[in-house]
Structure 1
Amino acid sequence: MNDIQLIQSMLSNHKLDKSRDAAIVIPLVREEDQSLSILFEVRAMTLRSQPGEICFPGGRIDLDDVNPLAAACRELCEELGLSHNDFDVLTASALEPIMSPRRGKIYPYVCYIPDPSVISPNQAEVSTTFRVPLSYLLKHPPSEHKTSFHFEFSDDFPFHKIANQSAYKGQKQTMTEHVFEYDGHVIWGLTARLLVSFLAILNEGQDQS
């Protein structure tokens, strides 16, 4: 293949595979005392993927979604029984997207639900919801725990043909897992990562004000 224009055309026509990308919503809820809480979902036990785990509303971006924000709003309405008039999106652009090995790129948004009485969870997806005061989360940082992932190569991998072999054999990657605990609920994993990112923005804003 020696035709550079043909290669350029192929690159221009190539469509990025976004079939795994997802969008989620961090929902802020106004309580009766006018304080704010963050709403979390507990996934239905009948779901094949991660039953019973704690998460934010959200899911995969469909081909019919015009952008990640549209997907986030659609999932929020489907999972919590809301209409688009029941909430306000606080930023038109996503917070810093994060990468997930299994789910691709995840776009987080923040919304505000002024009247939580309109929430009616879809029992097929959400077994229950609970709320954690925003003030509590800002004052009680999560515990931190180190986790390691080991890389394993098949026996027929040609290590004898690559440079710096010792740097890759037995290699492991260490990362920090954050764990929030509140009223018997344990929030960790991807949900905790998103929560840490959001709270960091608020703490930074408070320090500058």
Structure 2
Amino acid sequence: MLKTDADAADIGSVEFFKRAKARLNFDVPEGLTDASIIPVTGDAGNDRMIQIVAQERPIRPAAVLIGIVEHEQPTVLLTQRSAHLNDHAGQISFPGGKIDPTDASPLDAALREAEEEIGLDRSFVEPIGYLDLYATGFGFRILPTLARVKPGFNLKINENEVESAFEVPLAFLMDPANHQLHSKEFRGMERSYYAMPFAERYIWGATAGILRVLYERIVLT
């Protein structure tokens, strides 16, 4: 969880997508729906929290879209959730949400949610593969879908779900110097979490954790 490489942030767009296509696939992990399989994060406190949550509440399968917009300097497409929502109100997140029974796959769920939340037309999206399964203290099992997004799209924000959509340079988010490691207590156990503040945006929790996984899987050799 604490592996770093200060030179890794220099990876270019071509090399990033080349590595992503070589290292990712669309195999759905059993832990997405099987509560007996506990995703391992490498943080003992965090892993123990996930074990406890899995025993106390039903797991909630979800999918998100990590959209890398292929500008000359690539960016990551993120949203700020509406303040009135029950889960993670006002937080920075990826487009995405719970996987519905009618979704053909987690990929389909991620694309559907991106269309519903921010109006991202899937014709602009080239899916590349799933990242590692990410579990949260709220019982969510999140399967992130990495995708290349062509510029030129027009967004239509669904204000019932998100307040805004914005882009952050991929180079900033993949630079380990910007990965702050914080900690807090959960039932007497210390657990760590990442934060990646960018301008006025405070990126933390599951979103920052997933970005850290992206760094470790694709950028860090």
TM-score calculated relative to the size of structure 2 = 0.68
**Cα distance, 1:144–1:125 mapped onto 2, change above 3 Å:** same
3-state SS of paired residue (1:90)? strand
Cα displacement (A) at 1:87: 1.0
CA contact (8 A) 1:90 1:112 kept: yes
Counterpart check, 1:111 vs 2:127: no
Other-structure match for 1:145: 182
**Cα distance, 1:116–1:199 mapped onto 2, change above 3 Å:** farther
Other-structure match for 1:192: 208
CA contact (8 A) 1:19 1:62 kept: no
**Cα distance, 1:57–1:115 mapped onto 2, change above 3 Å:** same
Corresponding pairs, count: 166
Other-structure match for 2:86: 48
Q: Which structure shows the bigger proportion of residues in strand conformation?
A: 1
Q: CA RMSD in A?
A: 2.0
Counterpart check, 1:35 vs 2:73: yes
Higher radius of gyration, 1 or 2: 1
Alignment of 1:1-209 (within 5 A): 20-31=60-71, 34-91=72-129, 94-139=130-175, 140-150=177-187, 172-204=188-220, 207=221
Identity %: 28
**Post-superposition, which runs of at least 4 consecutive aligned residues in structure 1 deviate over 4 A?**
15-19
**Cα distance, 1:50–1:105 mapped onto 2, change above 3 Å:** closer
Q: Distance in 2 between matches of 1:99 and 1:49?
A: 15
CA contact (8 A) 1:30 1:115 kept: yes
**Cα distance, 1:116–1:147 mapped onto 2, change above 3 Å:** farther
Q: Distance in 2 between matches of 1:51 and 1:78?
A: 17
3-state SS of paired residue (2:123)? helix
**Cα distance, 1:37–1:72 mapped onto 2, change above 3 Å:** same
3-state SS of paired residue (2:60)? coil
CA contact (8 A) 2:120 2:153 kept: no
Cα displacement (A) at 1:39: 1.3
> CA-to-partner distance for each residue in 1:5-47, whole Å, 9 max, x for gaps?
xxxxxxxxxx96887111111111133xx11001110012232
Other-structure match for 1:154: none
Other-structure match for 2:28: none
Amino acid paired to 2:203: I
Relative contact order, CA 8 A, sep 6+: which one is greater? 2
Structure 1 stretches of 5 or more lacking a match?
1-14, 151-171
Structure 2 stretches of 5 or more lacking a match?
1-32, 36-57
CA contact (8 A) 2:65 2:147 kept: yes
